[in-house]
Amino acid sequence: MVQGLIYEVFMSDNKKRYYRKHPELHPLIDKIKLWPSRSGVLHGVRKVKLRGQYIEVETHCGNVFRTHNSRKSRAARWLRNKWAVTPCVKCKVPEWKLTKYTNTFFSPHYGKNFTAKKTV
Ligand SMILES: [Zn+2]
């Protein structure tokens, strides 16, 4: 249901946004302000702080956690592959943010690059 909705949003707005590949996760989270949880829920990010090799993330629904500041991390991969598709109810992620997310990294070319790099 939610997946269908997001797909529709994507189809109705053909503007695509691509981010350059960063070696770090922090600029990415800082920019899109979204966090994919392991359960596939997309949270809104209230604060993201860089602490050495780690980033500290606070979601709108009150979760605070640390994660390694690497674009090879699970979160970066999930964001790129759009594996988190259910917006968090508590975070109340605004529609425009979801649309922006949906229109980002939707390039097959980007995916190819990523896969190639991963297998090396
Ligand atoms: Zn949340």
Provide the pLDDT confidence category of residue 22 given band limits of 50, 70 and 90: low
Say how many Å lie between the CA of residue 40 and the centre of ligand 1: 11
Give residue 80's pLDDT band: very low, low, confident or very high (50, 70, 90). confident
**For 45-56, what is the mean pLDDT?**
94
Number of neighbouring beta carbons within 10 Å of residue 107: 12
Cβ–Cβ under 8 Å, residues 56 and 66: yes
Distance 111 CA to ligand 1 centre (A): 27
User: Ligand 1 centre from 75 Cα, in Å?
Assistant: 14
**Kind and range of the H or E element at 47?**
strand 41-51
Mean local confidence (pLDDT), 86-114 = 72
Indicate the domain borders of the chain. 2-119
Contact 29, 75 (CB under 8 A): yes
Q: Report the separation in Å between the CA atom of 109 and the middle of ligand 1, taken as the mean of its atom positions.
A: 31
Q: Give the Å distance between the CA of 38 and the centre of ligand 1.
A: 12
